[in-house]
A = this chain, B = another copy of it.
Amino acid sequence: MTTDETPVRRRRGASMADVARLAGVSGQTVSRVANGRRNVDEATRDRVLAAMREVGYRPNSAARALRNGQFRSIGVIAFELSSFGNTRTLDAIAAAATSSGYAVNLIPVLHGTPHDLSGAFDRLGEQAVDGVIILIEAHRLDEADVQMPEGMPVVVIDSNADLDYPVVDTDQAQGSRLATEHLLDLGHRTVWHLGGPEDSYAASRRLRSWRQTLIDHGCPVPPVLTGDWSAGSGYAAGRKLAADPDVTAVFAANDQMALGLLRALHEAGRAVPEDVSVVGFDDMEEAAQFWPPLTTIRQFFPEVARRSVDALIEGIRTGEHHHQPVAVGTELVVRASTAPPRR
């Protein structure tokens, strides 16, 4: 597997020893300056700083990591970023990690089969990371017969609280309830649901909460249509919904599917929101520019990311983790795609 003889080229930057020689001090003093220790004489510090600048000194993170047993880096395991939510979350994780002084290692899972997933975890053991955030539907972890390197702190962003790892996620149930109740409050007799893939916990949470909300309000529970998060699948499902004159309100499990749904409704000549009201989930940036602008449930990705990173760093520092799942609330954003039903 690793048999190729790579022609290696050493990058040879200035080391502490070089700086020390130039500044006429010991390497240890350079180390102290580099780490902002205060027990260094002002004049000495300046001399060292000048020397650093002169030789273009950069700390060698490999040596530092070896010495300290820490990389100050966290790994993020994710499928293709194509999904809007994952992208936003990753972005926010990177920001949060950076502000906490951690680097981010992106560990892609190339094809999503259990085999590839295991591959990602195998590689993980060799990755220069102190901990891992998993951005993958948890059920796939089971499938993949995954073995985390022993002692590797982990945080999972997912709604499955059964896991053996700390879990952070958007409060899917609350968001789903907000969406459904918004439509009921407008006077719709009931709300149809265009759900995400069955094997997604996020999707099943949204579905379950939608159903429960209908039951709580004494509304009939229509059959569920299922998509795969993509706009294309939303369109396919939308064609069926558009053909049914009973449908006056639909809650799509994400904005992308809602987009496809809108297209299907337009195509069928059903006006939104006059004939059919539509609510999405995510509040992706484009949702405000859909036609019509989409009422949706806003997720707070930065908050999810912040909490995940903090929990992970806590785990890295202390070696323990809180199994208390964290749920981040959502917010209803009302736009033009919802209105009372036509009488």
Contacts and interface: CB of A to CB of B under 8 A. Distances in A.
Interface bin, chain A:
35 or more
A80 B70 CA distance: 27
A263 interface: yes
Contact of A128 (B8, B35, B128, B292): B128
A66 B11 CA distance: 11
Number of copies: 2
Nearest to A316: B9
B3 A317 contact: no
Interface in A211-249: 230-232, 234-235
A174 to B, nearest CB: 25
Interface string A1-39: 111001111111100000000000000000000011110
A327 interface: no
A7 B128 CA distance: 20
A323 to B, nearest CB: 19
A291 B10 CA distance: 55
A62 B128 contact: yes
A108 interface: yes
Contacts of A65: 62, 65, 128
Given A7-B317, A105-B104, A110-B99, A231 B286 contact: yes
29 contacts: A3-B38, A6-B317, A9-B319, A10-B68, A56-B150, A58-B125, A58-B126, A58-B149, A59-B126, A61-B126, A61-B128, A62-B71, A63-B66, A65-B128, A82-B88, A94-B107, A95-B108, A95-B110, A98-B107, A98-B110, A103-B105, A105-B105, A105-B106, A106-B106, A231-B285, A259-B290, A260-B289, A263-B291, A267-B291
